[in-house]
Amino acid sequence: MSKEIKVALAGNPNSGKTTAFNAITGARQHVGNYPGITVDKKEGFTKVGENRIHLIDLPGTYSLTAYTMEEIVARNVVADQRPDVVIDVLNAGALERNLYLAIQLMEMGAPIVLALNMMDEANKQGMKIDIDKLADLLNVPVVETVARTGEGIQELLTETVKCAAKNEGKKWEPLSISYGPDLDPALNKMVDLIEKNNLLTDRYPSRWTALKYLESDDEIMQLGREAHPVSAELEEVVKSVSKHLESTLATYPEAVIADYRYGYITSIIRQGVVTRLDAAADRVALSDKIDTIVTHRFLGPIIMLAVMYLIYQVTFTFSETPVGWFESFFGWLGETAEANMNDGLLKSLVISGVIDGVGGVMGFVPLIMFMFLQIAILEDSGYMARVAYMLDRVFRFFGLHGCSVMPFIVSGGIAGGCAVPGVMAARTLRSPKEKLATLITAPFMACGAKLPVFLLFVGVFFEKNQAMVMFMITMVAWACALIVSKILRNTVIKGEATPFVMELPPYRFPTLRGLFIHTWERTWQYIKKAGTVILAISILIWAAMTFPNLPEDQVAAFDAQKTVVQEQIDAATASGAPVAELEEKLLSVENEEAEATLKNSYAGSIGVALEPIMSPAGFDWRTNIALVGGFAAKEVIVSTLGTAYSLGEVDPEDASPLAERIAQDPNWTPATAIAFLLFVLLYAPCFVTVVAIKQEANSWKWAIFSVVFNTALAYTVAVAVVQIGKLL
């Protein structure tokens, strides 16, 4: 009879847990999110004989406290989903530390199978592990594995099925270890109280709950308080034992618990489980040696700059061709619609709303894929941790984390990036406050879509110092991002820096399968978004720029003008006279109509309505519409300005007629030009980025904050520039 066995996969970060998950499930996996948080939820299936194994990948954690989302998720899955077996993947080379999590899982009572992973490396380090003895002492099955090569995986699955069969229908048997003469009596007392009142006993073993009270675990204590008034009595016990510990040993329960857990582990290891011989090739020692160069005082930063530059180059060079394919495809789609549909609203909606909107977003896909591929290489090889290590001192000053550098660079820290993959790169940040500050400030960077705007205005107003001014813009972006982070971290995202304490995993070559899976799952999440939220917003923006239509009398007036010119053209063609001038005249009538239509639309009304607000910054209604359009995508700014100046659709790549118009417009002075440049640099991120921020911050609140706050900041800066310009 075939059965489904539910298995949870636990383990430390860098223990090879993800590799093991991939080795077990292959491509049959599903990535989602736990509701309400940004921790990835990965599940997969595999068959062992008759049995179907449903594998749930728990987030990589060192412990099961309530300090990080990952740890809360891990323990809640074990407590609530009651897996038949928990496989704990251990890095055999750092066995003691890895067993720390295993002990905590065993204290929760779940049937457990230990996978001693990376056994090949442990052997090379000169470690001999007596796995039979370990299995015996801990009373759990232990299997040696090398997840990278797939060695031992079959055996692991067989043991898992056996373990599931053995424990089927049985009550969980939590491990109970001694926490010493001070805590044990208190624990027993608390266990009695818990069992007498059935406090949370349907979810957690009573001793485990008692331990969590001693560790002052916020989540469990909150649950306890809501469940039963006996919680107060437990807290009293904790208070008195804490006081006792402090007065006699100058310590506190949480520390004592950790010491005894490690003591328990050491007592097991010392019974001949591990023997250390001379190392043949110690990967950790080799890694440390590589680090003397890679994180060297002078060489380190140079190598890092080179790597960053390379990533940036590879992403934008290699993705150029596939991005071109996407563009041609959507261009072709647009033309097909143009040729085959009747003129009218539906056609306009399909072309300008749906195809241009979704096409614009899908055009980022190759870019995002290359970016994620390289981030996956950096992460899987261990270099990302070194980048964080080297830059932490600088970034910490601004309330950020060493890992914030990646999102900044990708967003356009080297001019020409893109904030969408940039914001998504912030996923590697595990510190919530630092991550939020990074998400909000990364869009300040000079992304590729802002560049045409900069080039246009710099070309007109700063012809002599173009390169210098462009460089200055990039520097201003960095300065703003860092300073604003510092301000945010001292105001709305206030709070202590998250501890840095971080493993520097040994360098290793990433596996192709791992790279492929990481890249694909992130890219796919992005594509799914393009089909939903982004489609809806792009239709909304299309509607704002289309409705209401021009009043009929105005349309009729334009039509009449066009008819007159058309008749002149027809007459000229018939008589063989030159028609070029007349055709130009026709075009200019059409462009005037486009300008009038735009001004009359909701977006236009917004532009006009914004004039009193925006005039201190020196912007007229044309600029305002362009900026509103820029919310859809910053590329739109130049083309919308073109329409607003009656130039028809301006190609952002070649905007020279627009440049001439701007040069002639008395409204534009060098001061307003600088104000405009800074405004474009700093104001609301484009909506694709906003959606990405929502995804990463997991809250619309912060996504909307980024729109409002960044725009307010941009406005303040622009007004300041213009007003100071007037004084000079």
118 assigned ligand-binding residue: yes
Stretch that binds another protein, among 385-393, 435-443, 522-530, 623-631 (CB under 8 A): 385-393
Q: Is 679 helix (H, G, I), strand (E, B) or coil?
A: helix
- CA 295 – CA 304 distance, rounded (Å): 9
Q: How many residues bind another protein (CB under 8 A)?
A: 48
Under the binding rule (CB under 8 A), the answer on residue 270 touching another protein is: no
Q: Using the rule CB under 8 A, is 701 a contact of another protein?
A: no
User: How is residue 337 written in tokens?
Assistant: 């619609």
For every residue of 217-279, which 3-state class applies, written as one string?
A: CHHHHHHHHHHCCHHHHHHHHHHHHHHHHHHHHCCCHHHHHHHHHHHHHHHHHCCCCEEECCC
30 exposed, middle or buried (CB, 10 Å; 0-12, 13-18, 19+)? exposed
Q: With binding defined as CB under 8 A, does residue 11 bind another protein?
A: no
Query: Does the protein bind another protein through residue 300 (CB under 8 A)?
Result: yes
13 annotated among ligand-binding-site residues:
yes
Q: CB under 8 A: which stretch of 360-368, 502-510, 548-556, 578-586 binds another protein?
A: 502-510
Q: State which of residues 501, 512, 580, 728 lies at the interface with another protein (CB under 8 A).
A: 501
Query: Does the annotation place 353 within a ligand binding site?
Result: no
Residue 18 marked ligand-binding: yes
Q: Does residue 381 touch another protein according to CB under 8 A?
A: no
Among the listed residues 193, 237, 238, 390, the single contact to another protein using CB under 8 A: 390
119 labeled binding residue: yes
Phi, psi of 47 (to 5 degrees): -115, 135
Of 287-295, 311-319, 540-548, 605-613, the window that binds another protein (rule: CB under 8 A) is 287-295
Q: Is 60 annotated as a binding residue?
A: yes
Contact between 190 and another protein (CB under 8 A)?
no
Residues 6+ apart with CB under 8 A from 332: none
If one asks whether residue 298 binds another protein (CB under 8 A), the answer comes out as yes
Among 7, 10, 73, 94, binds another protein (CB under 8 A): 94
CA distance 117 to 206: 32
Considering beta carbons, is residue 39 or 692 the nearer one to another protein?
A: 39
Q: Which residues, at least 6 apart from 446, have a Cβ–Cβ distance to it below 8 Å? A: 412, 415, 416, 417, 454, 473, 474, 477, 681
* Chosen residue from 139, 222, 271, 292 binding another protein by CB under 8 A: 292
22 in a labelled binding site = yes
Q: Contact at 8 Å (CB) between 595 and 646?
A: yes
Residue 16 is labelled as binding a ligand: yes
- Near another protein in 113-142, by CB under 8 A: 122, 125, 127
Task: Say if residue 38 carries a ligand binding annotation.
Answer: yes
Beta bridge partners, 29, equal 44
CA angle 720, 721, 724 (to 5 degrees): 80
Of the pair 219, 327, the CB lying nearest another protein is at 219
Measured N-to-C along each axis, helices 552-575 and 580-600 cross at an angle, to the nearest 10 degrees, of 170
State yes or no: residue 178 binds another protein (CB under 8 A). Answer: no
- By CB atoms closer than 10 A (0-12, 13-18, 19+), residue 584 is exposed
The single residue listed with the structure tokens 């300090």 is 67
Report, in Å, the least distance between residue 293 CB and another protein.
11
Tokens describing residue 633 = 């995508």
Looking at this protein, which amino acid is placed at residue 628?
A: V
Residue with Cβ nearer another protein (63 or 699): 63
Of 233, 235, 288, 559, the one binding another protein (CB under 8 A) is: 288
**Is the peptide bond prior to 185 cis by the omega test (within 30 degrees of 0)?**
no
- CA–CA separation, 558 and 552 (whole Å): 10
Is 23 marked within a binding site?
A: yes
Q: How far is the CB of 659 from another protein (least distance, A)?
A: 44
Residue 259, interface with another protein (CB under 8 A)? Answer: yes
608 scored as a contact of another protein (CB under 8 A): no
Indicate the annotated binding residues: 11-18, 22-23, 25-26, 36-40, 57-60, 117-120
Indicate the annotated binding residues for Mg(2+): 22-23, 25-26
Summarize as ranges the residues that interact with another protein (CB under 8 A).
14, 62-63, 65, 67, 91, 93-97, 100, 122, 125, 127, 252, 254-255, 258-259, 262, 284, 287-288, 291-292, 295-298, 300-301, 385, 389-390, 392-394, 396, 498-506
